[in-house]
Each structure stands twice: as C-alpha cells, then as structure tokens.
Structure 1
Amino acid sequence: MRRILLVAALPVMMAMLGTAALAATDGPGQPGYGRGLAGDLCGDCHIVSPDQHYDGQIGPNLIERVREPEITELALRSYLQTTHPVMPNIMLTREQADDVIAYLLTFKGKPK
C-alpha cells in the first residue's frame, strides 16, 4: 500500500520540485536580472556594483545606501516609484522593480 501511495505521489512531488526550480531561476525577484537592470538603468548616475568605480556619478552610492538600517524592501520600492527632480523618469515594471530590489538587498548586512 505504501509503495502504491509513493508511486502515485511521485509525479506530484516532481512537478512541485520542477516548479520550485523554475521559480528559483526565472522570474521576478531575481538578483541576477536586477544586477543587469541596475547597471543599465542606474549605473550612469549611481554606484550599483562593488566593482564599479566613481566616475562623476551625481546620485548616491546605492550599494552604501542600502546598507543603512532604515533602507528596507519597502523603502526601496517607494524610492523606485517616486519621481525625483534630477532623475529621469524611469518606469519599471513590477518584475523589473522586484529584480532591482532583490539585487540591491544582496548588499544588506555585508561589510563595506
């Protein structure tokens, strides 16, 4: 009886694992995608990568900024949705915002 239940449950478990694997590598909230977006969309004015050198950026260093305790996911989301006088009005999709936020949060708690 146990063997029959295991055999019957196996396709369901494999489908669940496959979905989890797909979600872990594809879709919103992926730091890898966010790194590319941050570099492409924000890197001309902000430091968005540890290997990026200061080259006349006019905006704050986002790597250092995100390390501050008050900068949370909610704060980043609000920042990305708020227009700023000296910033271009970049319109991100929800998925793009999730990816950029996921990337920036990878620096939370890391030493300088």
Structure 2
Amino acid sequence: MVDTPCRLPSLAVGAIIVSLIVAASARAASDGPGSIGFGRHLVEEVCGECHRVSQPPMAKPPPMQEELAAPDLVERMRDPGITEMALRSYLRTSHPVMPNIRLSMEETDDVVAYLMSLKEGLQ
C-alpha cells in the first residue's frame, strides 16, 4: 500500500472550494436583491449585541439593549415610515451612539431584505 499523506489536505481544500461554490450559487439564485438568510445572520451577529432582532421576544434582552436604550428592531419595523429606501439611507449614515459598521452594497441588500421580511410578517 502506498502512503499518500498529501491526499487528505487536497480533499479538504476541494471540499471547501465546493462548499464556497454552492454557497455562491445559492446566493445568485435568490430572488431579487438581498438574501434574507444572509441578512438575518448579519443582523443577529452584528446588531444583536444591542438590539432585539428575533421573534418571539427573547427571554433575556441583548446585553447592551437596556444600558444603551437600543430600540427593538422588530418593533421598529412596525413603523410605516420604515421603507427600503429609509433603511438603506440609515445603514449608510454614521450614528454617534452606534458602532461605525461599514456594510458592502451586497450586505446592505441582505440586511434590508431581512428587515423588510420582518415588516411583512408583522402585517
């Protein structure tokens, strides 16, 4: 039997490449701009430190929500003035009490798609 120590790393690299291609294909196949799934992940990971972002309400608020009086994003989406254009503008503007998070256009599309899906679910 021939020992092939380099075979396993090659297979692992191949598996990673295939998974990246599948993820990119799934993103490209999504309807319209923005992926609700990717947006949800971004919002939960980045915004979820301070804002409640899930339904139903969590048993315990995010660590910084009470301290910073960070608004509940699910409840904010009930406001009829919150539109896709308003969200895009808000996400592109820095705010003194928030971290200065720079999103790519694609990430902005994802976050807007997710937040607008929350709005649709509230009606």
- TM-score when normalising by structure 1: 0.71
Which structure ranks higher in relative contact order (CA pairs < 8 Å, sequence separation ≥ 6)?
1
- Does the residue aligned with 1:110 lie in a helix, a strand or coil? helix
Residue 5 of structure 1 corresponds to which residue in structure 2? none
Moved over 4 A (4+): none
Matched residue count: 92
2:122 corresponds in structure 1 to 111
Aligned twin of 1:4: none
**Residue aligning to 2:5:** none
Aligned to 2:49: 44
- 8 A contact 1:33–1:99 mirrored in 2: yes
Which residue does 1:31 correspond to in 2?
36
Q: After TM superposition, give the deviation of residue 110 of structure 1 in Å.
A: 3.0
RMSD over aligned Cα, in angstroms?
A: 2.5
Amino acid at match of 2:81: E
Which amino acid in structure 2 is aligned with residue 44 of structure 1? E
Which consecutive unaligned segments of at least 5 residues does structure 2 have?
A: 1-24
Q: Which consecutive unaligned segments of at least 5 residues does structure 1 have?
A: 1-18
Q: CA deviation at 1:28?
A: 4.9
Q: 2:78 matched to 1:67? A: yes
Query: Structure 1 pair 92/22, CA: closer, same or farther in 2 (3 Å)?
Result: closer
Q: How many Å separate the matches in 1 of 2:57 and 2:37?
A: 16
CA 1:44/1:28 → structure 2, altered by over 3 Å: closer, same or farther?
Answer: same
